[in-house]
Chain A
Amino acid sequence: MASDPRRHHDEQVWAAFEVEVLPHLGGLFRFAMWLEQERDKAEDLVQETMTAALQSFHRFRTGTNCRAWLISILRHIRSNRQRASTRLSLVTDPGDRIADTVPFVPPVPQQLTDEEVLAALRRIPPQYQEIIVLCDVEEMTYKEIADALGVPVGTVMSRLHRGRALLRAELSQPSQGEGERWHSAGS
Chain B
Amino acid sequence: MQCREVRDLADSFLSEQLLVETNHEVLRHLEGCPACRAEFASLRDLRRAVRRAFINSQALRISDEFRDSLAAHVREAARHKTPRRIVRRRWAVGFAVAAILIIVAGVGQFLRTRGIDLIARDAVGDHQNCAVQFRLGEKPISLEDAAARYDPSFRLLQEMPSDDWNTPIGPVRVVDRHSCVFQGRRFAHIVLQFQGQTVSLLVTGSHGEANASINSTDRVPHLVGLASNDGFQVVSFEIPGHTVFLVGSLEEQQIRQVAQSLSGPLYSRFARG
Residues of A within 8 A of B (CB): 6-7, 9-11, 13-14, 17-18, 22, 25-26, 29-30, 33-34, 39, 43, 46-47, 50-52, 54-56, 72, 76-77, 79-80, 83, 89-90, 92, 107-108, 112, 114-115, 117-118, 121, 132-133, 135-137, 139, 141-142, 146-147, 150, 152, 157, 160-161, 164, 167-168, 171, 186
Contacts and interface: CB of A to CB of B under 8 A. Distances in A.
B53 interface: yes
Contacts of B198: 150
B158 interface: no
A136 B45 contact: no
Interface of B is mostly: helix
Given A90-B196, A108-B42, A157-B12, A29 B249 contact: no
Nearest to B71: A22
Given A25-B67, A54-B78, A160-B11, A118 B133 contact: no
A75 to B, nearest CB: 10
In the A-B complex, the 4 residue pairs with the smallest Cβ-Cβ separation, listed nearest first, are A114-B53, A29-B62, A14-B78, A117-B53
B80 A10 contact: yes
A25 B70 contact: yes
Contact of A142 (B15, B51, B61, B135): B15
A51 B74 contact: yes
B74 A13 contact: no
Contacts of B62: 25-26, 29-30, 33, 46
Given A7-B79, A80-B231, A150-B132, A164 B49 contact: no
A72 B131 CA distance: 13
A22 to B, nearest CB: 6
Interface string B135-161: 100000000000000000000000000
B56 A114 contact: yes
A115 B59 CA distance: 11
A167 B46 contact: yes
A161 B79 contact: no
B54 A133 contact: yes
A33 B59 contact: yes
Contacts of B50: 117, 121, 132-133, 136-137, 167
